[in-house]
Each structure stands twice: as C-alpha cells, then as structure tokens.
Amino acid sequence: MSTFTFISFIHELFLIILLCLIIKINQCERRMKHPNVVRVLGLCIDGQEVNIVSELCHSDLNAILHGGMRGGKWQDKVSLSAKERISIMIQISRGMLYLHKKERLIHRDLKPANVLLNNNFSIAKIGDFGISKVWKNKKRPL
C-alpha cells in the first residue's frame, strides 16, 4: 500500500468516524425538549461539510458580556441588569437540571459562549453538546 493510499484510507476512516459522531450528537439533541436547551431541527451534510440546523438564537452570553457578533453585527458588550443576570442563571440551572435528571447527560463544556440568548436576553438556552457524555450508571446519581 502506497503512502498516498494509506493517507487517503485514514482520511476516509476519519470522515466516517466524524459522521457517526455527528449523527449520534444530532440524535441526542433532537430528542431533547426543554425551553432552556437549544432545539436541533436537523443535520445537513454536503461533501465534507457538516451543518447542524437548530432553532434561531441571536447571540451568546460571551458576546453579550465581552462584546462580539450579535444578530449578524458587531456589538459592544452589554451591561445586564441584576434581574437579567439572575434570570439567565436560573434558566441555565433549569436547563442543566433537565440535562442531568431527565437526559442523564453531562455537558462537559458549559461556558458563556455555549449559553445562547434571544434578542432581548429574556430566554437563555444551553447549546453545543459536542463533547457531552451520557451518564450510563443508573444506580449512581449524577
């Protein structure tokens, strides 16, 4: 087997493994239904490009706190009121409680960039389950 054939084989194998992982993530996310968890609508594969189609969220908490893209435009950081901050924290907690208790899922990458918000910051949703893990030990609680 030539080096080129071997590299081509490894590349194909990597794409197959990646595709299986993405399908697993898609199936996991599509069954989750909670107001504080991003809803995945589908998966689109075009050649080597994979896109996950999800409900529309206008920004993430990191962009709000530190400045960044919001609604397709660059925005300066936003000063959230105490009421907005508490509401976001409660919604994140509710989403995490759902993931742990109902889905038995450990997110493993919860950070401001993975907390998505609507335009007026009234709804917070947890997203990006790329490195999440299902807790399989049913006898031992999370």
Question: What is the spatial distance between Cα 99 and Cα 34, in angstroms, rounded to a whole number?
Answer: 9
Nearest to 33 by CA among 25, 45, 41: 41
Taking only the tens place, the pLDDT of each residue in 37-75 is 998 887 777 777 777 788 888 889 998 988 876 666 777
Task: For 128, list phi and psi in degrees, rounded to 5.
Answer: 60, 85
Alpha-carbon 41 to chain mean position: 13
Q: Is 109 a catalytic residue?
A: yes
Residue 99 pLDDT: 92
pTM: 0.74
State the catalytic residue, choosing from 46, 60, 109, 128: 109
Q: What percent of the chain has pLDDT over 70?
A: 71
Distance CA 95, CA 109 (A): 14
Q: What is the pLDDT of residue 15?
A: 63
Q: What pLDDT shows up at residue 5? A: 63
Q: What is the pLDDT of residues 76-89, one digit of tens each?
A: 888 899 999 999 99
- Higher pLDDT: 122 or 53? It is 122
DSSP string of the chain, one letter each residue: --HHHHHHHHHHHHHHHHHHHHHHHHHHHHH---TTBPPEEEEEEETTEEEEEE----EEHHHHHH-EEETTEEE------HHHHHHHHHHHHHHHHHHHHTS-EE-S--SGGGEEE-TTS--EEE---TT-EE---SSS--
